[in-house]
Amino acid sequence: MDRFDEEGPSGLYDRDREGRPPKIDEEVEQEIERLLEENPAEKGENATRWTTGRIAEHLDRELDVDVHPETVRDALDRLEYSWTRPRRELPPTDPEAYRKRLSAIVEAVAEADKETSVLVEDETILKRFPPLRRMWQPVGDQRAARVPEENNDFTLYGTLDLTSGHTYVEAFEKGRSDYTIEYLESLLEETAGKVLLIWDQATWHTSGQVSEWLDGTDRIETYLLPVRSPEANPMEDLWRELKEQVAACLERSLDALLESCREYFEALSPEQSLRTAGLYLN
């Protein structure tokens, strides 16, 4: 008020003052960014993710900078970092082996005649209590999702016809060689003529029991996808959509969940199947 009386409105503005220098300066921020690019386990930490507490301990130990974890959080906000879930990534594959396998599959599909059913096959596990997904909730009122006493599950075997868009799905207890043979027998009943079957290298696809059964039939010719290549299997896109639309519901019995999965595929038109898998052409 004295400054206002003496200087008028200009006296109300804050004056320059030294104050206490920030503990997390540019050099410390650079160290934080460097840390976030490294694995904490390589620094002797018993963890594979950096938390604000671990970063604060590291700064105190290595740079003699004593800061509270919340101060580290503020610095991370300034540096535009957020605490979010990372993207899963499979181990790298041999690029040449990947190319050769896919080239062989593309060539076989291109040479298949009109009477041959070209199918891609895959399995997925559906749990009674799936991983929690996001939902709309009132602010400050987090809804509860009741956990069942037993989180039982089942495995869906499924195929997509790359030319017609038709799907065939059947449920089993798990992925297993005898179930695979049972599914293939059902698949032969659903198709006519030759079948070109493309699937991954799961053990229940490549086992001696399944190989022996395949040798005993002259209708199915199989091609194995490259290892760790879900992006090359169009059925993965259908599974992803199924889990988003159906399996995310938590308030169902396992039988009701299975029935909902069947209804999903029954309602899925061939055009929708191919479009979901990124294969539909006008």
Q: What does the pLDDT average to over 220-229? A: 95
**Cα–Cα distance, 121 to 100 (Å, whole number):** 20
Residue 19 confidence (pLDDT): 66
pLDDT score of 250 more than 70: no
Find out whether 255 and 230 touch, Cβ atoms under 8 Å.
no
Mean confidence (pLDDT) of the chain:
90
Render the burial of 137-151: b for 16+ CB within 10 Å, e for the rest. Answer: eeeeeeeeeeeeeee
Helix (H) or strand (E) segment spanning residue 19: none
Band (pLDDT 50/70/90 cuts) for residue 14 is: confident
118 — phi, psi (to 5°)? -100, 110
Residue 84 confidence (pLDDT): 85
Task: From residue 194, give the alpha-carbon distance in Å to each of 110, 167, 219.
Answer: 15, 17, 5
64: left (phi over 0), alpha (psi -120 to 50) or beta: left
**Cα–Cα distance, 96 to 227 (Å, whole number):** 12
Band (pLDDT 50/70/90 cuts) for residue 67 is: very high
Q: At what angle do helices 235-242 and 254-267 cross, to 10 degrees?
A: 130
- Predicted model pTM: 0.73
